[in-house]
Amino acid sequence: MKMLLKILCIGLLFALPTFGKDYRFQTLETANELFRSATNSAGYAEAAKQYELLVEEDGIRNGSVFYNLGNSWFMAGDAGRAILNYRRAEQYMPNNPDLKHNLKTALALRTDLIPEKEPHPVVAKLFGWHLNTSPRFRGMCFAVSWMVLWGSWFWLLRAPRKEVRITVAASGLVSVLLLGSLITDTVLKYSAEPGVITAKEVVARKGDGTMYAPTFLDPLHSGTEFQCLEERGDWLHIQLADGQACWIPKNAGEKVALAGE
């Protein structure tokens, strides 16, 4: 009898991972089928909830799942959750053309059209090259300037001419500026905590409680993006695209990054 129990326990240990995979596959198939057969917003919302089970209960986090989640919430008429999940998918497949198109479409449905904060004129003039170019382009420029720097350095060792020294100095300066620009991008990327308002509308306040006065005359609406500055109890201190800061209830918005990421 003891030997039989040992055999059953060992068999169960090997079987559990398979059961887990089968369950996840079944959940995914259910979500896909609900999405394909949906004919109204309620049907698409049900599909979204099935995809969310894969994320929340099974810990599956990849671009395809978040993309499907975004599509489901978009078809369900929930722009906030659609944008939230498109942003999550963007972290895994940033160059996917379908994702870019769908995100742009969802962003166009937002009620709050908040303009980006304009940089100070002096900053814009001095660092316009940094603000108006993509990290990829600056990375390519850095690679070129870095190669020119070392090439001209070796040339300088053989032929110490004035023009070679100027090339070394210029390429070195450009390399330092571009490297600093890329490091700044990286630091800002990993220190930022972007989020999206998912409530239909929420009153933004001047403090972390309903006793504080509203920050704006009108409420903020689903789909409005923000940077989370602080989390205090049941409230989030957020900054909008135009630089204005306010507080919203924690359940009115979600951060793009999930816990554990």
- Helix (H/G/I), strand (E/B), else coil: 242: coil
What residues form DSSP beta bridges with 197? Answer: 253
pLDDT in tens, 108-134: 999 988 777 665 566 556 666 666 777
pLDDT in tens, 23-34: 677 877 887 888
Indicate the residue among 160, 191, 222 that finishes a domain.
191
**Residue 149 placed within a domain:** yes
* pLDDT for the residue numbered 2: 39
Residues 32 and 79 occupy one common structural domain: yes
Residues 204 and 228 occupy one common structural domain: yes
What gap in Å lies between CA 120 and CA 5, rounded to an integer? 74
**Residue 231 placed within a domain:** yes
What gap in Å lies between CA 146 and CA 150, rounded to an integer? 6
pTM score: 0.72
pLDDT over 70 (residue 98): yes
pLDDT over 70 (residue 13): no
**Residue 112 placed within a domain:** no
What residues form DSSP beta bridges with 246? Answer: 238
The count of C-alpha atoms lying within 13 angstroms of the C-alpha of 224, restricted to the half-sphere facing its C-beta, is: 28
Residues 137 and 221 occupy one common structural domain: no
Residues 231 and 199 occupy one common structural domain: yes
Percent of the chain with pLDDT over 70: 82
Helix axes 97-107, 63-75, angle to 10 degrees: 30
What residues form DSSP beta bridges with 238? Answer: 228, 246
Residues 173 and 212 occupy one common structural domain: no
Residues 70 and 157 occupy one common structural domain: no
**Tokens read off for 130:** 């940094």
Residues 180 and 212 occupy one common structural domain: no
Q: How many domains does the chain have?
A: 3
What gap in Å lies between CA 244 and CA 193, rounded to an integer? 16
Structural domain boundaries, residue 216: 194-255
Neighbours of 181 (CB within 10 A): 20
pLDDT in tens, 58-68: 788 888 999 99
| Helices within the chain (DSSP H only) | 2-37, 41-56, 63-75, 79-90, 97-107, 121-131, 135-158, 162-191
- For 221, phi then psi, to 5°, come to -120, 165
Residues 228 and 246 occupy one common structural domain: yes
**Residue 146 placed within a domain:** yes
